[in-house]
Amino acid sequence: MEAVFREDRSRLLALLAARFGDLDLAEETASEAIEAALRRWPVDGVPDKPLAWLLTTARRKAIDRIRRDRAYAERLAMLHVESDRAAAAVPDDPGFDDIPDERLRLFFTCCHPALSPEARTALTLRCLAGLTTPEVARAFLVPTATMAQRVVRAKRKIRSARVPFRVPGPEELPARLPSVLRVVYLVFTEGYAASSGPGLLRPDLAEEAIRLARILHRLLPEEREVAGLLALLLLTDARRAARVDAAGGQVLLEDQDRTLWDADLIAEGQRLLVPALTGPGVGPYAVQAAIAALHDEATAIETTDWPQIVALYDVLLRLEPSPLVALNRAVAVAMRDGPEAGLDLLDALADAGELCGFHLLPAARADLLRRLGRTAEAAVAYRAALDLAGNESERATLARRLAELPDR
């Protein structure tokens, strides 16, 4: 049942949103249908077509809610007028192969220009990927209450502006694409390193992001940044099997068994990287994919082409300056020029305060201080990272590193 809900929730929400044109109503009735399934399925068994069962139940609840609420009287009349068109868009039997296109409709709706860039990504992560509001807040490095207000305002804007639930036409797609790409990227980021919970990985989210990136690539095969994003996700996800041990604990890059890396995903990502990097105006996802490819090509941490990685981070900082990119560049500089050089850059980032509350900065500082033999300072930094980390697997790694410090 958990697997069904995880797989079908976003499909159900997309189908309901397309049918009723109201995201709040879709979310509420989807939740009610899942609650009904939790009561019925343990008794009756999981149906042969779980999504069909959920959709039928949710539709009935939505119609009942509309009939009870006077405020929805006008909307109900509109639904009757549009019933033929809606039936064509959302079949009665959703056991068909085009359900991903329904989710793509909802992606572009949530990324509509009427919404702010922050609201577009937040709403899509919340509704399509099924992230909780705290998880979305962590992705944006903002308080949970701030993110909750942002999501509510975004849904209200969609309703008041009558944003259509549809995939844009070919002439609109290029302008709408960057927001959708960012959403897919952030969904994958949460799957690659979960912001909270017991496990480091959330494979369901990573696979969802890759699936959506593949859909976008099929729709827009000539868009180089779509190819760049898909290449990045594949080249990064290829290392998944080596990133945790048998007990689910985190395995850092330097300690990973590279024979476990997925050679097929690496090869596919490398093929996509060629067109993504060909021609002028290379985008940030293609640059990040090139960095991931250099990691995947190396036989060990010592043989990695760190000078080239630093050069690519220099390009990425010009294309998309951010404190996280600067943090990753500082780590690469430390690998190229030594820990002292990297530590100077990390200290400058700490002084700027842009990554305050983000555990990766003190964790990176702690590792460089450890390598320099400054164990007392490293212990302080590890404790600061422990206070900020939300994922239990990452916390266990930090605690182990702290315990291994001599004379701490």
Per-residue pLDDT, 232: 98
Per-residue pLDDT, 406: 86
Ranges of residues in the chain whose predicted pLDDT is under 50: 80-100
The two three-digit tokens of residue 85, written as one number? 């068109």
Per-residue pLDDT, 78: 55
Question: What is the chain's percent helix, strand, coil content, to nearest 5?
Answer: 75, 0, 25
Q: For residues 272 and 248, what is the distance between their CA atoms, to the nearest angstrom? A: 31
Summarised one tens digit per residue, pLDDT across range 277-304 is 998 889 999 999 999 999 999 999 999 9
Helix residue spans in 117-162 (DSSP H): 117-127, 133-140, 144-160
Per-residue pLDDT, 351: 92
Per-residue pLDDT, 370: 95
Q: How far is CA 307 from the centre of its chain?
A: 29
Per-residue pLDDT, 46: 87
Instruction: Using alpha carbons, select from 259, 255, 260, 319 the residue that is nearest to residue 289.
Output: 319
Summarised one tens digit per residue, pLDDT across range 204-230 is 889 888 988 998 898 788 899 999 999
Q: For residues 306 and 336, what is the distance between their CA atoms, to the nearest angstrom? A: 5
Q: What's the pTM value of the predicted model, to 2 decimals?
A: 0.75
Domains of the chain: 1-96 (1.10.1740), 322-408 (1.25.40)
Quote the DSSP letter at residue 169. Answer: P
Instruction: Using alpha carbons, select from 356, 388, 381 the residue that is nearest to residue 367.
Output: 381
Per-residue pLDDT, 86: 43
230-258: buried (b, 16+ CB within 10 Å) or exposed (e) per residue?
A: bbbbbbbbbbbebbbeeeebbbeeeebee
With contact defined as beta carbons under 8 Å apart, do 338 and 322 qualify? no
Per-residue pLDDT, 90: 45
The two three-digit tokens of residue 242, written as one number? 């080596």
Q: For residues 372 and 354, what is the distance between their CA atoms, to the nearest angstrom? A: 25
